[in-house]
């Protein structure tokens, strides 16, 4: 099957739409919290909702709708979704906490002054998701799929 076949694959399209919706939703949700527009959120990890959780939930739900929820393929998709969501809420989130502490230690070492760029580039601190952000992604993935499968011919 050529790559153009992906354009006719309902699971792929629903997953792609879910990813787009999740990233776009980060803008107004962040604005409500900070009162500042942060367009870099369109291309970043972290934040509400979790696009990783939304995408893997959409993919698993799409596989379930398309092939049946009692198929081995859905079981595999569900297992992958659980691993990705666990990673986003635990491992990547912990890496973000580590980055916060490393950044704090470096700043303290330099007496509040920023280290020269050659020596230190501040680490990104928003890497993972809180459980609420992941849940938001899961709910979004399910909702987009419910709408998508009603509209798909």
pLDDT in tens, the chain (153 residues): 578 888 889 999 999 999 999 999 999 998 998 899 988 888 877 778 988 999 999 999 999 999 999 999 999 999 999 999 988 887 766 777 777 777 777 777 776 565 555 565 655 655 667 788 889 999 999 999 999 988 887
Q: What's the gap between Cα 103 and its chain centre?
A: 24
For the entire predicted model, the pTM comes to 0.76
| Per-residue confidence (pLDDT) for residue 41, from 0 to 100 | 81
| Per-residue confidence (pLDDT) for residue 105, from 0 to 100 | 76
CA distances from 128 to 8, 32, 47, 85 (A): 32, 20, 8, 10
| Whole-angstrom distance, CA of residue 100 vs CA of residue 96 | 6
Contact 45, 26 (CB under 8 A): no
| Per-residue confidence (pLDDT) for residue 44, from 0 to 100 | 79
| Per-residue confidence (pLDDT) for residue 112, from 0 to 100 | 59
Whose tokens are 């009603």? That residue is: 150
Classified as helix, coil or strand, 129 is coil
Classified as helix, coil or strand, 8 is helix
| Whole-angstrom distance, CA of residue 146 vs CA of residue 150 | 6
């Amino acid at each position: 099957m050529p790559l153009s076949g992906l354009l006719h694959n309902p699971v792929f399209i629903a997953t792609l739409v879910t990813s787009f919706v999740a990233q776009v939703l980060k803008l107004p949700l962040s604005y409500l919290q900070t009162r500042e527009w942060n367009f870099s959120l369109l291309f970043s990890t972290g934040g509400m909702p979790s696009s990783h959780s939304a995408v893997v939930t959409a993919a698993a739900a799409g596989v379930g709708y398309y092939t049946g929820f009692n198929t081995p393929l859905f079981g595999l998709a569900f297992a992958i979704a659980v691993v990705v969501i666990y990673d986003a809420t635990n491992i990547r989130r912990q890496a973000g906490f580590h980055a916060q502490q490393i950044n704090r230690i470096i700043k303290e070492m330099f007496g509040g002054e920023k280290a020269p760029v050659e020596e230190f580039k501040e680490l990104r601190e928003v890497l993972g998701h809180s459980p609420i952000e992941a849940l938001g992604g899961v709910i979004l993935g399910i909702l987009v799929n419910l709408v998508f499968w009603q509209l798909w011919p």
